[in-house]
Amino acid sequence: MNKVKRPSKINKNIKDNIIVYVSSRNNYDMVEGAVLKNIQLDGYEFINVDDCSCDAEIAKGREQSKRIGFTFLQNKKRGVQYATQTVIDWVNKNRPNCKYIVCFQHDNYPISDNFFDSMNEQVKSLENKKVGIIGFNHLDNGSYTGDALKRYQNSESNVKGMIGMCHLTVMDNRKRWLCPTRQPDLIKHKGFDVPFSMEFPMWAGIGINVKAWNDIIKPTEDYHFHLWAPDIAFQFNFKNYMSVILPNLYCMNDQKLKSKFGIHENSAHSAKDGNKYHFGEYGPHLSNFKKRWGWDYENVEKTFPKVKDKYVGTLIEKYYMHDINKGPLWKL
């Protein structure tokens, strides 16, 4: 992973078919100290949406945006879904050529060369498909992806990291992440070497189809941070729009980065401990998910069969009926 020294100003000669954004809450030291150093924008535009930070942090974010040169928006409501809606509304008005917006969590960043140019080329092959979300191949320091990072750095081909969740096809919570430490045999299937679909991607970094969002998505404040993206994916799946993973585009998910800025490296654990300052409240997202979709996110095996008839004819049903051991439901 080569780190490129960033200029003091972000390139204004923008490529506006893809826009990169983050949703920030009381973490602007990390925006400047990590996000803008690690994401090589290569001429693509960057937007920060403030998600109800305190006054001092908002002032810090606004100062950064003026000094460094990025767009600063205030979230229209609360949570990452509405932060995304805020970006979409801005894009609809100001960047009509934008086809995808790409959201990163602050500790996640692309490491493939020419990441956004490559993404732009690859999504052209999907223009005639119903695609709502684009996912990537995420590496970490070992907890989920084992030695995949080392193998990637050694230029091995088809290295698999954390590429998505088999939420309906693998209902064992210990094995539902499609990654080397949870599914060491399944992840070797050749079907995962090319763009493929699954219930939802690893959402620390995802692309969102602007037109599909405008046509389908109804954001809610029910998910401030946790489960915001799975809910969006299921809204798309319900309308038969896929989440497609591009396995040759790699990101680094470096949770330890947060600790350098006084933030607990595990967002779920920190939220459970009461850290609303950075992550919001932990717990309501699970009950809100069940209220909206009818099954328990943490107990799919026992609860989904009771509501499966609601999803006949949708991708949700198709994933539930699919044998993942035969490979992905769809591949390019």
Sequence-ordered list of residues with C-beta below 8 angstroms from that of 231, at least 6 positions apart, any chain: 81, 220, 222, 223, 289, 292, 293
Predicted pLDDT of residue 263: 84
The CATH fold of domain 15-326: Spore Coat Polysaccharide Biosynthesis Protein SpsA; Chain A (3.90.550)
**How far is CA 106 from its chain centroid?**
11
**Single-letter amino acid code for the residue at 89:** D
Predicted pLDDT of residue 274: 60
Q: Which of 147, 149, 179 is nearest to 166 (CA)?
A: 179
Please tell me whether residue 51 adopts helix, strand or coil conformation.
Answer: coil
The length of the chain in residues reads 332
Predicted pLDDT of residue 316: 98
Q: Which of 252, 61, 54, 30 is nearest to 138 (CA)?
A: 252
Give 18-65 pLDDT, tens digit per residue: 999 999 999 999 999 999 999 999 999 999 999 999 999 999 999 999
Give 287-305 pLDDT, tens digit per residue: 999 999 999 999 999 999 9
CA distance 81 to 23: 9
> How would residue 171 be classed by pLDDT, with cut points 50, 70 and 90?
confident
User: HSE of 251 in the Cβ direction (CA atoms, 13 Å)?
Assistant: 33
Average pLDDT for 167-196: 95
Proportion of the chain above pLDDT 70, given as a percent: 90
49, β-bridge pairs: 23, 73
Give 194-222 pLDDT, tens digit per residue: 999 999 999 999 999 999 999 999 999 99
243: enclosing H helix or E strand = strand 242-253
Predicted pLDDT of residue 82: 98
CA distance 4 to 255: 20
DSSP 259: G
Predicted pLDDT of residue 28: 97
Predicted pLDDT of residue 1: 37
As a dihedral over the C-alpha atoms of residue 227, residue 233, residue 237, residue 243, rounded to 10 degrees, the angle is -140
CA distance 78 to 276: 13
Query: Is pLDDT at 272 greater than 60 in this prediction?
Result: no
Give 55-101 pLDDT, tens digit per residue: 999 999 999 999 999 999 999 999 999 999 999 999 999 999 999 99
Give 233-266 pLDDT, tens digit per residue: 999 999 999 999 999 999 999 999 988 988 876 5
Proportion of the chain above pLDDT 90, given as a percent: 85
